[in-house]
A and B are shown apart, each in its own frame.
Chain A
Amino acid sequence: MPIRRFIWLLIAAFSLALPLTAIAKDSRTLEFAAGEVNATWEGHGTISMQKQPDGILLSTTGTGFILTRQVLGIFPQAGDVTVSTDLGTGLYFVWIYNDDPDKRPYDVGISVPAGKRVTVPFSLSQHRQWYDKPMQFGLVLPPKTTILLHRIELTQWNFAERLLFGLKALWTFDAERPYSINFVWGPQIAWNPAAIKDLYAYLPPIFTSVTYALNIFLLLCFAVIAAFVFLRGNPQDRRKRFLRIALGVLLAGWVLLDVRMGSEFISWVVEDYRTYIAAPANLKTFRDRERFYDFAAFAVPYVFDRQTYVFFADREWPFLGNMRYLSYPAIPGIAYDRDDTWIIYNRPDITLDEQGRVTIGGEAVSLPGRVLGRFDSGSFAFRTYQKPVLPSPSPAK
């Protein structure tokens, strides 16, 4: 087939597909406020449901389901749930196909932070078992959960919108994270805004990798090129033509992926520049370490003349090793009974009692002393008035 005819066929196919774009974005809002809630909702499992003016109060002792058999009339790609809860919790959007004899539930996790009328989006289209079939759907609540459910909204986007979201997903970058020195996830395929928001939220990502798709696409391209060249080309130079076209296609794919990944790399540098290099002194944060490096610069002068010191942070990795490197030759540790200098990072639970002793969970763990300097409410340097003396070892019997 001549190339020109092939291009015309492509244009015709695209034109035929155009009417699909006329189908506009469509949503179904399922309200739970008094007077608006649909009567088809049913509770299953250990769940109690109580009508409230602005929603349904759901409370579980074990795992609880709230399900409906409503017909939506659309095939949504994503949704969002609006709830109020005093404690952050994990919910699941769940569905069970009517024709499934095993009634197997499929689900998508939703992480809900504490707050009033919090709306959390979730994507459905990436789920391998998400089909346009009659189903029962709803939410699953883990044991001992209480939420006020206000609304569930499910949305279907049109073809053109999905295409635009797809392009946006392609150009959505992962941040520089502790794993970035060993691997990069690269671009992922996603077709709705909820999926784009969660593109790199899961390890590994739950979406289809563009790299994988590109590899498959290129292999198919080689097969097509080989077929074209070897079936229709001049036998004298078909090997050469195949090589040249295949290499050209490969190079194009390589450069495209390079532009995408190189841009991600540069976005990391821009982010570092914005948040750390060029940020004002008291607003500097650095990747997942946040204000640690500024804190270390504040703390190290207090320990420069000590061999060891007590160090507490909100988590041991990576702060212990990082602090050890930055304060070397002073070594951080947990020798309460030997060291007089304490460096506390991001531990609002560690305070001083009336006698000036460091307390953890209300229990005094140091001799009386004073705060040498305070970095923020949970981070400070402390030194005891007296050097702790280790109890002398009892004589051997």
Chain B
Amino acid sequence: MTNLLVLLIGIAVPGALCWLALLLLEGRHPVLTRAERIVWALTLGPTLFTFIAFLSHVLGLTKLTLVGFLLPNIVVALLLGTGAWTSGLLRSGSHTPPPVSLPPDTAPRWMRLGVLLLCIWAGVKILAGAIDLLSVPTYWDDSFNNWNMRGKMFFVTERIELTIPVGNQILQTEGGVSSYPPALPLVKTWLSDLRGSWEEPLVNGVHLLWFLGLLGSFYLLLRRSFGRTVSLLGAALLASLPLLIIQGTNPYADVFLASHLFLSVACLLGAGRSDTTEELTSWLKLLGFTLGLLLFTKNEATVLYAPLLILLAFWLLLRKKRTGLITQQQFARSIGLIAIILGCLALPWLAFKWLNGLTFGNAKSISGMVMTFNPLVVQAIWYHVSHEPNWLLLPLVLPLMLVLAGKRAWDPPTGLLTVFVVVSILGQFLLFIFIAPLATEAIMQTGLSRGLLHVAPVALLLVLLLVRQLLLETEKNQESRIRNQE
């Protein structure tokens, strides 16, 4: 019970801080609904909170103790609160609602009943997974060798340790798991500092937050395009992906990354959909913010997802400029905005990595890797997506929908998702096939499955949006044909 209480406080405090940050970033032109802001704040909050504590710690100002976590965050919260108060954002009625009109629910009764059953089924699975997560010891290799181990080291030593004793008198230095961003271990350290001891249910239980946060933000994003029933169906389909629920209810870091990545992609999509410059600016500020935090989750974000998202944002802005939606000045200002916010959050961690000689790959350095074609990887990828139900029927539906949608699948704003999903997946496949030391990650289905896990929620979102697009188009075509006949 104490663990649960600490967990709730340990999530709520960072959540409140992040809520303030989101409120300030959106400013007088909010783009998130109230529910979205809360879910986003809870999902991103611990990362922002630990980032501030990390910054204060590496600057030599604080230790990784309860005070060390709270003090710098209180200072930041006061600054953000003051900013929000003076800008009038905290006063009731001053915060204009976002220009979002949620589609009505037009689903027939039988469909609502079916979706309700699917949601109950998803709920049963999540509850079962949660009970297991809170009741069993730390079992998985990466948990006790990386995420939990580092969190416990930070908690015991009260500082960021880069040298990890492996056992048998072997020390692991910068080349190993220390090259991973410390956000997740620091969340565990923070919760343990709050609790006063290292408790397995507490440090493992926090992983549910990102799984539920991902499901919540997925549902809320769908809600912008679909009625309640279809949005719930989408969330139930996401929760049905076996590897997602397995990883979501176990102390691994990939759902943690996936939840952050999904929010970054949501910002890009929001920017793509925005009709006004103000709306666009708000989404771009949020994109910079989520991208900055994304870099603090796992190395894959730095070497793969963030560069791709930045390129897509640039492409989007260039397109908006060409079509006359924004001026040259607004274009430059938008790029500057993303760069400043992203830079503030990304540079401290990247500089820390650079200064300490930490590698940039997936626990393997990406420099000096040899290129060679490995046919076994092709077989492993094929087996993973066609013979194993890791992603249920998503590997079949995704290419099918892309084929059916044809050229329209590549048109923005949905096209942003298409490019992101296709480049991320094919990019990873090519890396595994041609970069020799990464081949094992695909053949053993370790890095391969996790890479796909990061992208799976975006891929499912893309499928659902393409289905909607195709159905709407056929209806429109039918209507126009009937009108022509009349």
Contact = CB atoms under 8 A, between A and B. Distances in A.
Interface of A: 178-187, 204, 209-212, 214-215, 218-219, 222, 236-237, 239-240, 243-244, 247, 250, 253-255, 257-262, 264-266, 268-269, 272-273, 276-277, 286-287, 289, 293, 311, 316, 318, 320-326, 328-329, 331-335
B238 to A, nearest CB: 11
Interface string B104-146: 0000000000000010010011001101100111111110110
B457 to A, nearest CB: 16
A334 B393 contact: no
A218 B393 contact: yes
* Top 3 closest pairs, chain A to chain B, by CB: A186-B389, A240-B474, A325-B144
A332 to B, nearest CB: 5
A181 B246 contact: yes
Contact of A184 (B128, B243, B404, B478): B243
Interface string B188-208: 000000000000000000000
Given A277-B136, A321-B141, A184 B242 contact: yes
Interface in B347-388: 383-384, 386-388
Nearest to B155: A328
A182 B449 contact: yes
A181 B242 contact: no
B390 A184 contact: yes
B156 A243 contact: no
A184 B389 contact: yes
A239 B476 CA distance: 12
B392 A325 contact: no
A269 to B, nearest CB: 4
Given A182-B445, A182-B450, A243-B474, 16 more contacts: A179-B445, A181-B246, A182-B446, A183-B384, A184-B390, A187-B389, A214-B393, A243-B467, A243-B470, A261-B240, A265-B246, A269-B128, A320-B166, A328-B153, A333-B167, A333-B168
B145 A325 contact: yes
B144 A212 contact: no
B475 A240 contact: yes
B323 interface: no
Given A237-B478, A268-B132, A321 B242 contact: no
B169 interface: yes
Contacts of A212: 386-387
Interface residues of B, number: 65
A212 B395 CA distance: 11
Contacts of A325: 138, 144-145, 148-149, 152
B245 A265 contact: yes
Contact of A240 (B129, B131, B478): B478
Contacts of B252: 181
B397 A185 contact: no
B386 A289 contact: no
B243 A183 contact: yes
A178 B141 CA distance: 8
B393 A215 contact: yes
B149 A265 contact: no
B250 interface: yes
Contacts of B237: 254
A333 B156 CA distance: 20
Contacts of A181: 140, 142, 246-247, 250, 252
A269 B131 contact: yes
A321 B167 contact: yes
A218 B387 CA distance: 14
B327 interface: no
Contact of B388 (A211, A273, A329): A211
Interface of B: 118, 121, 124-125, 128-129, 131-132, 135-142, 144-145, 148-149, 152-153, 156-157, 165-169, 237, 240, 242-243, 245-247, 250, 252, 383-384, 386-390, 392-393, 396-397, 400, 404, 444-446, 449-450, 467, 470-471, 474-475, 477-478, 481-482
B149 A266 contact: no
B18 to A, nearest CB: 28
B383 A204 contact: yes
Contacts of A268: 132
A186 B388 contact: yes
Contact of B389 (A211, A244, A323): A211
Contacts of A185: 388
23 contacts: A181-B246, A182-B243, A182-B449, A184-B390, A204-B383, A210-B389, A211-B388, A215-B396, A243-B471, A253-B393, A262-B124, A262-B240, A262-B245, A266-B128, A272-B135, A316-B168, A320-B167, A325-B145, A325-B149, A325-B152, A328-B149, A328-B156, A335-B169
Nearest to B200: A326
B144 A322 contact: yes
A52 to B, nearest CB: 46
A276 B134 CA distance: 13
Given A185-B388, A269-B131, A286-B139, A331 B242 contact: no
Contact of A286 (B137, B142, B250, B475): B137
A257 B389 contact: yes
Nearest to B389: A186
Given A212-B386, A286-B139, A324 B149 contact: yes
Contacts of B138: 322, 325-326
Contacts of A178: 140-141
A318 B165 contact: no
Nearest to A316: B168
A250 B137 contact: no
Given A215-B386, A268-B132, A269-B132, A289 B246 contact: no
A337 to B, nearest CB: 11
A27 B467 CA distance: 53
B135 A262 contact: no
Contacts of A255: 118, 240
A236 B387 contact: no
Contacts of A328: 149, 152-153, 156
Contacts of B247: 181
A234 B247 CA distance: 46
Given A266-B125, A287-B139, A272 B132 contact: yes
Nearest to B124: A266
Contacts of A323: 167
Contact of A209 (B137, B387, B478): B387
B125 A265 contact: yes
Given A254-B392, A329-B156, A311 B167 contact: yes
Contacts of A261: 240, 242, 389, 392
Most buried by A among B156, B167, B397: B167
A262 B125 contact: yes
A209 B169 CA distance: 45
Nearest to B142: A181
Nearest to B240: A258
B131 to A, nearest CB: 7
A183 B137 CA distance: 21
Nearest to A211: B389
B136 A262 contact: no
Contact of A320 (B168, B387, B478): B168
B404 to A, nearest CB: 8
Nearest to B135: A277
B129 A265 contact: yes
B393 A254 contact: yes
Nearest to A334: B168
A180 B138 CA distance: 15
Most buried by B among A183, A239, A240: A183
Given A272-B135, A334-B169, A250 B390 contact: no
A257 B393 contact: yes
A211 B250 CA distance: 24
Nearest to A188: B387
A214 B396 CA distance: 10
A272 B131 CA distance: 10
